[in-house]
Amino acid sequence: MGIAWPNRRVICLPTEQSRHRNLEHARGEIIQLLSRQALEMAVVNRWQQPGQDLVTQLVERQHRTAIGQRLSRFHPADVAFVLESLDPEARDLAWTLVRPEVRGVVLLEISDGVRRALLTQMAPDAIAEVAAPLPAEDVAALLSDLPDPVSQAVLDKLDRPDRSEVTTVLAFPRGSVGAAMDRDFVSVPAEATLAVVLASLREQKPIPAQTTHLVVVDQEHRPCGVLPLARLLQGDPSRCVRDAMIEAPVFFYTDEPLRDVVHAFEKYDLVLAPVVNLHDQVVGRITVDAVVDELNERAQTEGLRQVGLTRDDEDLFAPARRAARRRWPWIAINLGTAFLASRVINAFGAVIEQLVALAALMPIVASLGGNAGQQSVALLTQRLAIGPLARGELRRALFREVKVGLLNGGLWGVALALVTLALYQDVRLALVIAAALAT
């Protein structure tokens, strides 16, 4: 006999496409409100009547309130998306209407170029007020985008405990585990019982977010293992932590590069891991959030670098002269290589004049060769992003790519030679094309 379940409403989560449409709609609403404000202000300014200043203030206040209410409904990441889409004048106005308690998170979510533009317009007192609610590692990330005098001025405005923590984080090199670790973690002694650990957790401050495991330490605060919360909640309360923990945990040193952490999290399916100092004492934890941020940062940086851009070029409304100056080196390199290729082709100008078919076939050979090279470069770059290769491994990888290129070049060289032979009825031309594509 089947079981009749009561009618229940199924709630469907929005897809990424629908979410993007909602963001675009929200961005359009902000732009529409800003445009309407500019239009009404222009009309009011042309209206030369007594009390014009009062009307101007009322219109401006009305629109600022509407924009502020609209922005207050957004997630900080969505606010960052809207700000990135606005021109500098509209962005500055919208930034003043963002709630003060979320401005720090918005700055962390926004692109590097826009964040620098906003921070350079803020006084040290305002930056310190925005940074105060953030963790020390996030404050350090914001200060790293500022000149040293401004960064020091912001540090002086922070409370003494916060200043000490931020200074400690800034002491670690950028891109290291110490600079990205979370100093807020829960550690428990290995000799305690599960009942004692549960009682202490109820008495202390709220447990940090993403705490799926507790770090187990010995008397010298060195890592012994990790205790999953499931074992803590479901285990025998009289059982010792040492007997319930997972031994030999994966941990990292503060001076290790963050790229090693990314590889380890992917390899061992980690959610968090302890971080120890040079004395092997636990001083923090690294979470999957930091790993995802590092992966996104690396992917965006590599994607821009492949076309000669940097993270500063992400601001579409940056001054044109500055953007053009940053792109000059890449364009100069491409101009040099293109000129070199043109000189090589010019050296065979007499041959091309006698055999016009070469001019039609040369782009095909260049295109296929470029695509094959991009495939090899993409694979090697992806592998090198995980970590450096030993000399023997690099030699084998390069030799493998050469063999792949020869195999593909030979196969498709023969195919293109047959097509050339069918079109131009010239055996020598077909052999030349096949040899060119194979090599």
> CA-CA distance, 438 to 415, in Å (whole number)?
11
List, in sequence order, the alpha helices (H) in 47-147.
Answer: 52-72, 76-84, 88-96, 103-109, 112-120, 124-131, 136-143
Q: What was the pLDDT predicted at 280?
A: 92
Whole-number pLDDT of residue 54: 65
What would be the CATH architecture of the domain defined by 16-176?
Alpha Horseshoe (1.25)
H helices, E strands: number in the chain: 21, 7
**Extents of the domains making up the chain:** 16-176, 187-305, 348-438
pLDDT of residue 1: 37
- Asked whether the beta carbons of 390 and 397 are under 8 A apart, the reply is no
How far apart CA 403 and CA 384 sit, in angstroms, is: 20
CA R_g for the chain? 30
Stated pTM of the model: 0.67
Q: How many residues does the chain have?
A: 439
* Matching CATH number, 187-305, of 3.40.50.300, 3.10.580.10, 3.30.70.260, 1.10.15.40: 3.10.580.10
Which segments in the chain show pLDDT lower than 70?
A: 1-27, 35-57, 59-60, 63, 306-307, 314, 316, 353-354, 381-390
The predicted-structure confidence for 290-314, as pLDDT tens digits, reads as follows 888 888 888 777 777 766 777 777 6
